[in-house]
Amino acid sequence: MLKKINAVIGLSVFLCFILTGCNDAAEVDDYVYPVVMGLDKGVHNKLKLTIEYPTYKSGGGGGQMGGGGEKKGGGEEGGGYSLQGANIHTIETPTILEGLDIFSMAISRKISLIHIKLLVISEELAREGIGSYLVPLTRYRDTRSTMFVLVTRGEAADFIKENKANIGESVTKSIELMEEQSKKTSYFPDINFHEFYRDVVSPYSAPYAAYVGVNDFKKLITKHEEGEGKLVTEYDYLPGDMPREGVAKREYVGTAVFDGDRMVGYLSPTETRYMLMLNGKFKRGVFTLEDKRSPGEGIAFSIVPQRRPSIKARIEDGTPIYDIKLEMEANIESIQSRINYEKLDMIDELNSQIKSHLEDGMKKTIEKVQKEIKSDVFGLGNKLAGEFSTIQEWEDYNWLSHFPEAKINVDIQVTTRGTGLIIESPPIFSSEGRK
């Protein structure tokens, strides 16, 4: 009998623990899950905080939860929830976390950051320093470390309004697809919050983020101007300044470079590619060089790295010296001049042109980063730290102050593996004959 009584008491105590464990549980529907957050400078030293979250219309139940907290379902006939659009809210607040609480009063739901995809910071705020805004986010338990970090020309709130899905996908899906373009083009870096903040507090390298903007579609050249016929092979546009027209006004173009928590400069889309090559994050990209045998016409080739950069570092007479070797694979995509570089005896000549083109671009990028920006976005400090006996010696050396004086030698090896789907460009026949 006593054993039975003890068993009942033990079970009761166990159940009490289980039940009290759910005491602070919250329903999913009690929360709003932003996918984008923007930071702008407010008035009177306040912060202007913007959030964007998807909205849904009910179809009668049974919906499925999609990525980023989005529910996808059958609408009126199939039940569940269907994506209706997105809401954008902006407010002035002393701090980010208090701003989220203030939003709750207007939305009538608690704000959760567990599904956030994008953090947008205005350039004005970034140039003043953003450390005071980053630290609270690192301490906040709901902060998603994988959110994509952007710096925008102009207001973050304005960029968020224009960062729309254009082909029917959700806001979340649109952001994910744009991140993929970083890997496919290498025109802008894919940097998450964890990586960005790690470099902010690192003595080894400088932080950087994707540089974005809004295009007003007034830069497209519609008539011939001075310099007609010149082949442009490098893109040095700022975000929002690309000569184009279309639907999507947003532009992810280049890199915002920081010194600590302050933005100090930027890299163009082309310079971003060379930067990513050096720090081992370059995936692929299509380049164009001017054909030496046919000036004014281009040769388009894709580049993929064969392996990670080989970096050797040393200090000689107080000067940091780097010997960097890059091995790239080139595939010829098009030859406008129709010169048959596909012939085996001309492949070496083409390799030489590509090698010279890449090394020239790399040299210019390194010079700009060292002399103008003076921030180690290449992450070279990680290699030099091994030359010091202790961490304290390394920190006392203050690598980031020595970076501009470092000597960086780069050797790029290029191997052409393919020349497209045809071996030789066919002739073109017209009334004027064969050419």
Q: What is the pLDDT of residues 79-94, one digit of tens each?
A: 444 455 788 999 999 9
Which tokens sit at 380?
A: 């070279």
The SS3 of residue 355 is: helix
| pLDDT for residue 259 | 96
| pLDDT for residue 65 | 40
| pLDDT for residue 68 | 40
In the block, tokens 């202007």 appear at: 48
Q: Count of CB atoms within 10 A of residue 160's CB?
A: 25
| pLDDT for residue 196 | 96
Task: Confirm if 273 and 282 have CB atoms less than 8 A apart.
Answer: yes
Which tokens sit at 256?
A: 């915002």
Spans of all domains in the chain: 26-267, 275-435
Instruction: Report the DSSP beta bridge partners of residue 390.
Output: none
Predicted structure pTM score: 0.84
Q: Please state, in angstroms and as integers, the Cα–Cα distance from residue 382 to each residue in 202, 204, 276, following that order.
A: 10, 5, 16
CATH 3.30.300.210 describes domain 275-435: yes
Reported as a single tens digit per residue, the pLDDT across 127-141 is 999 999 999 999 888
| pLDDT for residue 76 | 38
Q: What is the mean pLDDT of each run of 10 residues along the chain (435 residues)?
A: 57 55 58 92 88 73 41 41 72 91 85 92 96 90 92 95 74 84 92 95 95 88 59 79 86 95 96 96 92 85 94 94 96 81 75 92 96 95 92 93 96 80 56 61
| pLDDT for residue 421 | 45
Number of H helices, E strands in the chain: 13, 19
| pLDDT for residue 359 | 95
